[in-house]
């Protein structure tokens, strides 16, 4: 078995794999209703919300599209707070559907600055919504969402949050931080396969939805909510993934959210220390380094592509490269979901052997 340490998909525990081999059932029948209601209730606990949570079949990007088309109208002005590849993707979707996107970009590897957001909101009262990526998976930065939320709510704007690689492993109390729409996907902290997006919608989120005019059909929140009231989804759901999610959520609740968050903090600390012990450095500003993904700067002659290949072929350790302009400049270690310090020790030990083989002269 490979030691899969990319920032999603993440490895699945045996209990979750077992749940997936369940025979198909009628997605309009009572058994599925019970499963969906259970999944929804458990997700609400882990999202720390009393608001609605919708389970949508699609990848995380589908979830981002759902957030945009359900809350905005063509011509709406939105502030895009971007700290990397996924912040840019959120903005591109909004633009594609006709929103007028005002970008506020921060240097990759640095966190978003709440004061800079305040300055824009002060001068541009016409902005309706703010798009934020809580944990920027491409750079390994966790933005200070609590502070950003305080600023956004000072100006009474809608807060739309990409929480794909944070919620469930990095604290994100959705209600306390007044997140209006928050989206994540099954292949991250949730220890389930890719293919399901989960979205919470606040009261304000529903109000925005009632006025939103962007075209939508598959992703329509009203349809999803109406069907959920009958224990169903509007369209045929990814049954096997929802079976997996039902099992993984039970595991997560048995461990308890505070323990899960503490485990991720410990594992990420061990990752950063291990990386530094090898003579490498962390790409992200350390005050905001993520507890789910560590981006490592390539230095001292290291050929990251060769390193990734040798790790995979000779050590069965699979890490991720950098995306877009960070291609070849960083590599990333995913540490979310089903992970302990031992898994990271294996990665660091393999790196210790492979780094000199891949040109590193640290």
Ligand X SMILES: Cc1ncc(COP(=O)(O)O)c(C=O)c1O
Only one residue has tokens 């309706």, namely 128
- Pull the structure tokens for residue 120: 């824009």
- Cβ atoms of 165 and 14 within 8 Å: the answer is no
Binding mask 185-224 for ligand X (x = CB under 6 A): x--------x------------------------------
CB of 179 to ligand X, least distance (A): 15
Q: Within 13 Å and on the Cβ side, how many CA atoms surround 37?
A: 9
Using Cβ positions, the residue closest to ligand X within the complex turns out to be: 60
CB of 60 to ligand X, least distance (A): 2
Is residue 44 packed enough to be buried (19+ CB in 10 Å), middle (13-18) or exposed (0-12)? Answer: middle
CB of 267 to ligand X, least distance (A): 18
- Cβ atoms of 83 and 111 within 8 Å: the answer is yes
Quick one: 8 or 274, whose CB is closer to ligand X? Answer: 8
- Cβ atoms of 281 and 299 within 8 Å: the answer is yes
Examine residue 164 and say whether the peptide bond preceding it is cis (omega within 30 degrees of 0): no
Binding mask 152-181 for ligand X (x = CB under 6 A): ----------x-xx----------------
Binding mask 218-257 for ligand X (x = CB under 6 A): ----------------------------------------
Alpha-carbon separation of residue 195 from 164, 267, 311 (angstroms): 13, 26, 27
Quick one: 199 or 358, whose CB is closer to ligand X? Answer: 199
**Spatial CA neighbour of 338 closest among 39, 12, 5:** 12
Residue 331 engages ligand X in binding (rule: CB under 6 A): no
**3 state DSSP class of 112:** coil
**3 state DSSP class of 144:** coil
Interface residue with ligand X among 40, 48, 59, 147 (CB under 6 A) is: 59
- Tell me which H or E stretch contains 296: strand 293-297
Interface residue with ligand X among 10, 82, 133, 268 (CB under 6 A) is: 133
Residue 334 engages ligand X in binding (rule: CB under 6 A): no
Binding mask 79-118 for ligand X (x = CB under 6 A): -------x--------------------------------
First-residue to last-residue Cα distance in the chain:
30
**3 state DSSP class of 196:** strand
CB of 165 to ligand X, least distance (A): 4
Only one residue has tokens 């921060």, namely 106
- Cβ atoms of 197 and 58 within 8 Å: the answer is yes
CB of 293 to ligand X, least distance (A): 8
CB of 210 to ligand X, least distance (A): 26
Interface residue with ligand X among 61, 92, 281, 346 (CB under 6 A) is: 61
Residue 60 engages ligand X in binding (rule: CB under 6 A): yes
Chain residues that interact with ligand X, rule: CB under 6 A: 8, 59-61, 86, 133, 137, 162, 164-165, 185, 194
């Amino acid at each position: 078995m490979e030691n899969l340490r990319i920032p999603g998909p993440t490895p699945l525990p045996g209990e979750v794999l077992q749940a997936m081999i369940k025979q198909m059932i009628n997605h309009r029948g009572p058994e599925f209703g019970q499963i969906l209601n259970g999944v929804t209730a458990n997700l609400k606990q882990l999202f720390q919300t009393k608001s609605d949570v919708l389970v949508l079949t699609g990848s995380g990007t589908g979830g981002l599209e759902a957030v945009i088309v359900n809350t905005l109208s063509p011509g709406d002005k939105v502030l895009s707070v971007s700290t990397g590849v996924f912040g840019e993707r959120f903005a591109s979707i909004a633009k594609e559907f006709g929103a007028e996107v005002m970008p506020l970009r921060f240097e990759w590897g640095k966190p978003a600055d709440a004061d800079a957001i305040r300055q824009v909101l002060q001068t541009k009262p016409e902005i309706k919504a703010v798009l934020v990526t809580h944990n920027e998976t491409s750079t390994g930065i966790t933005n200070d969402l609590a502070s950003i939320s305080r600023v956004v709510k000072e100006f009474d704007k809608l807060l739309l949050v990409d929480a794909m690689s944070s919620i469930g492993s990095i604290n994100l109390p959705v209600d306390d931080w007044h997140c209006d729409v928050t989206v994540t996907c099954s292949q991250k902290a949730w220890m389930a396969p890719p293919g399901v997006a989960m979205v919470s919608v606040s009261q304000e989120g529903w109000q925005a939805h009632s006025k939103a005019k962007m075209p939508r059909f598959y992703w329509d929140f009203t349809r999803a909510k109406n069907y959920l009231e009958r224990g169903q989804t509007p369209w045929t759901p990814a049954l096997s993934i929802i079976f997996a999610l039902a099992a993984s959520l039970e595991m997560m609740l048995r461990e308890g959210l505070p323990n899960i968050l503490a485990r991720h903090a410990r594992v990420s600390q061990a990752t950063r220390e291990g990386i530094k012990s090898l003579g490498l450095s962390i790409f992200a500003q350390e005050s905001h380094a993520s507890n789910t993904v560590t981006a490592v700067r390539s230095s001292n002659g290291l050929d990251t592509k060769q390193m990734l290949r040798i790790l995979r072929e000779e050590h069965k350790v699979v890490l991720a490269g950098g995306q877009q302009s960070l291609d070849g400049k960083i590599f990333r270690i995913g540490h979310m979901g089903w992970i302990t310090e031992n898994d990271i020790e294996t990665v660091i030990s393999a790196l210790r052997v492979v780094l000199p083989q891949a040109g590193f002269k640290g």
